[in-house]
Amino acid sequence: MTDIDLLPVPTWRDELEHEYAALGARLERLVPCLEWPLHLPWIDAINKLKKQRGALIMAHSYQSPEIFHGVADVTGDSLALAQAAADCDAELIVLCGVHFMAETAKILAPHRTVLIPDLEAGCSLASSITADDVRALRAQHPGVPVVSYVNTSAAVKAESDACCTSANAVQVVEAMGADKVIFLPDRFLGSYVATQTEVELVLWDGHCEVHEKFTVEQARHARERFDAKLVAHPECSPEVLAEVDFVGSTSAMGRWLAKEKPARVALITECSLADNLRVQFPAIEFIKPCNLCPHMQRITLQNIYACLRDLKHEVDVPADIAARARAALARMLAVGRRETV
């Protein structure tokens, strides 16, 4: 047993308010004042513990502000986190996101230890398709390449020719050099990609439980009631996308805001993204609608601390699956790096 194992549960110290004054000011509009004294001891304890462990904390943009801004070393969308995992030299990675993201980090950093604070942080898209389903699709469409959205299990990635994110889906599909591509598992994302390319897509009937809930009525209400610009993630239905001013990935939304600088905007996506972007764009008023991802919300400061303290919830991927999935991810990253140059 080490000194780290004996660390007590974090408690309030008056000096924390001064030590984290800059962070407190940055999050003042995002974290209720009554919650801040509850979060701060955990933030401090995690930051100290990760230094002792030599850990790198990665947080997806859908993580709550106290995690995203308070303890994360690397933040971003799925593509950014995947690239960071491939490039990182930390021996220990804590992935604050859902399980497929932790699997992706382990696949791309096979010699690192990858932890996830809650093993039950899943994804409706990832659970909507299996490796057997992919093999069946290949049998139905001989010779047609498979592009899998990164929101899939390692086993599904291993059955795919390439992976993609919403940021580079069109580019990955076209990079396959085929007239027809099997695109899975998100039907709405696939439908959107199909409008952006001449490649014929064979789609799977998977949906994101967060984005499929948005309605045309919600979008119109945000525009008419608040005179807001509408920005939507392509995992929303085609009917919703037809109502908006911009369709784009998590990272593309931020770039659009920086360029257009609307007075008011409704981000039709996961709520925490809007919360985190408020820090970057304080002059913009963010209007609902948004929905919280119940799986992302399973990650908390408390279980991040416990994960680091006890080195628990290690994510592993069988070597044969990892090798094939790594090849599919490598094709995604090659396109992703070209797009960010």
DSSP result, 268-295: ESBHHHHHHHHHH-TTSEEE---B--TT
**How many beta carbons lie within 10 A of that of residue 9, not counting itself?**
11
Q: Does the domain formed by 4-123+296-310 have CATH 3.40.50.10800?
A: yes
pLDDT in tens, 95-149: 999 999 999 999 999 999 999 999 999 999 999 999 999 999 999 999 999 999 9
What pLDDT is stored for residue 30 in this prediction?
87
Is residue 12 very low, low, confident or very high in pLDDT (cuts 50, 70, 90)? confident
Mean predicted lDDT score pLDDT of the chain: 93
* Residue 245 in this model has a pLDDT that exceeds 70: yes
Q: Check the CA dihedral 169-76-296-328 and report its sign.
A: positive
The larger pLDDT score, comparing residue 136 to residue 36, is at: 136
The larger pLDDT score, comparing residue 4 to residue 255, is at: 255
Residue 339 tokens read as 């797009």
pLDDT in tens, 256-277: 999 999 999 999 999 999 989 9
Residue 35 tokens read as 């919650």
pLDDT in tens, 280-321: 999 999 998 888 999 999 999 999 999 999 999 999 999 999
d(CA 311, CA 242) in angstroms, rounded, equals 46
Domain ranges across the chain: 4-123+296-310, 126-208, 211-287
* Residue 5 in this model has a pLDDT that exceeds 80: no
Q: What CATH number has the domain spanning 211-287?
A: 3.40.50.10800
Q: Do domains 4-123+296-310 and 211-287 have the same CATH topology?
A: yes
Q: Report H helices in 21-160.
A: 21-26, 36-53, 65-68, 78-87, 99-108, 131-140, 154-158
d(CA 78, CA 86) in angstroms, rounded, equals 12
* Residue 340 in this model has a pLDDT that exceeds 70: no
Name the CATH topology of 126-208.
Rossmann fold (3.40.50)
For the chain, give the percent of residues with pLDDT over 70: 96
d(CA 192, CA 110) in angstroms, rounded, equals 33
